[in-house]
């Protein structure tokens, strides 16, 4: 989807005010996750014995898949933030 250039510039300005740029935002990841993702399952799906995801990429694929299923229209930044949060806190993978 094409965004007007003004929106992109505004976004960049906000990012600069926010300090050094980071690949993902753990706090944002946690709040997005806690708002949208614990409706169907508790966090125990991430630590169950036969869990699907075992690498960072696989966790990201699952996050991508679930935000698609639930029509959240997350940005790649949102997906990275939630992945980072889940991978670090539950999957214990860097």
Contacting positions for ligand HEC (CB under 6 A): 33, 36-37, 39-41, 45-46, 51-53, 59, 62-63, 66-67, 70, 72, 82
Choose among 90, 4, 94, 93: nearest CA to 47: 90
Please answer whether residues 74 and 32 qualify as being in contact, where contact means their C-beta atoms are separated by less than 8 angstroms.
Answer: yes
Q: Which residue has the tokens 């966790």?
A: 59
Query: Could you tell me the smallest distance in angstroms from the CB atom of residue 67 to ligand HEC?
Result: 4
Q: Which residues contact 28 (CB under 8 A, 6 or more apart)?
A: 78, 81
Task: Output 9 or 54, the one with its CB closest to ligand HEC.
Answer: 54
Query: Could you tell me the smallest distance in angstroms from the CB atom of residue 44 to ligand HEC?
Result: 9
Task: Output 7 or 40, the one with its CB closest to ligand HEC.
Answer: 40
């Amino acid at each position: 989807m094409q965004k007007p250039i003004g929106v992109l510039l505004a976004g960049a300005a906000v990012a600069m005010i926010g300090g050094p740029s980071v690949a993902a935002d753990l706090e944002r990841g946690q709040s997005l996750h806690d708002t949208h993702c614990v409706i169907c399952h508790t966090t125990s799906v991430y630590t169950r014995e036969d869990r699907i995801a075992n690498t960072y990429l696989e966790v990201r694929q699952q996050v991508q898949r679930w935000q698609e299923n639930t029509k959240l229209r997350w940005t790649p930044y949102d997906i990275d933030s939630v992945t980072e949060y889940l991978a670090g806190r539950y999957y214990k993978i860097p």
